[in-house]
């Protein structure tokens, strides 16, 4: 997802990309997309800077944190960067995540790695297949969304131990 940056380019331009899960390489974080991802970036020339704004859509398939079933999590992100043309690059750790610097001879910049970072940064910490997912029975492992199990869970709850001792 490269943007051409050269003096005298058109003032404002929109670019669109679609990408497969394998092209953005989210590695171990998730398993797949359920359709292609999409990115729209608009480049605006402001003096010597380029203002890049837009959005990304990542159709994530994530494992539910309760029942472990794969579920769809469409993720939409707003993107915004400033690219500055400089004579000498500032060390990257001194720049904010929204700033880029390029040297006078740089003609294009690839945003794929930054888009990947933005998606990973915004992954839900505890994805759920639905807000009231019942999860798995801790005793028999049955997915309780599919059907209930016959385990008597209160019998295994250590908070009842004191009461059980009194009754013996």
Residues near Zn ion, by CB under 5 A? 64, 66-67, 129, 133, 137, 139-140, 142, 149, 151
Report residue 106 CA to chain centroid gap.
Answer: 29
Please answer whether residues 83 and 5 qualify as being in contact, where contact means their C-beta atoms are separated by less than 8 angstroms. Answer: yes
Q: How far is the CB of 62 from Zn ion (least distance, A)?
A: 10
- Residue number, 78 or 155, with CB nearest to Zn ion: 155
- Residue number, 113 or 139, with CB nearest to Zn ion: 139
Q: How far is the CB of 94 from Zn ion (least distance, A)?
A: 43
Secondary structure class of 107 (helix, strand, coil)? coil
- Residue number, 20 or 156, with CB nearest to Zn ion: 156
The Cα–Cα gap between 114 and 121 comes to 10
- Residue number, 82 or 149, with CB nearest to Zn ion: 149
Q: How many CB atoms lie within 10 A of CB 37?
A: 21
Q: How far is the CB of 125 from Zn ion (least distance, A)?
A: 15
CB within 8 Å of 140: residues ≥ 6 apart: 149, 151
């Amino acid at each position: 997802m490269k943007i051409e940056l050269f003096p005298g380019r058109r003032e404002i331009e929109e670019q669109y990309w679609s990408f497969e899960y394998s092209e953005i390489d989210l590695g171990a974080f998730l398993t797949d997309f359920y359709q292609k991802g999409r990115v729209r970036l608009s480049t605006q020339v402001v003096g010597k800077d380029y203002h890049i704004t837009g959005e990304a859509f990542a159709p994530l398939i994530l494992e539910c944190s309760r029942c472990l079933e794969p579920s769809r999590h469409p993720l939409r992100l707003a993107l915004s960067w400033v690219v500055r043309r400089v004579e000498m690059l500032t060390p990257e750790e001194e720049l904010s995540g929204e700033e880029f610097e390029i040297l006078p001879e740089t003609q294009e910049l690839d945003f794929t790695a930054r888009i990947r970072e933005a998606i990973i940064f915004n992954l839900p910490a505890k994805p759920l297949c639905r807000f009231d997912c019942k999860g798995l029975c801790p005793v028999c492992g049955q997915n309780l969304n599919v059907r209930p199990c016959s385990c008597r869970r209160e019998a295994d709850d250590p908070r009842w131990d004191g009461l059980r001792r009194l009754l013996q």
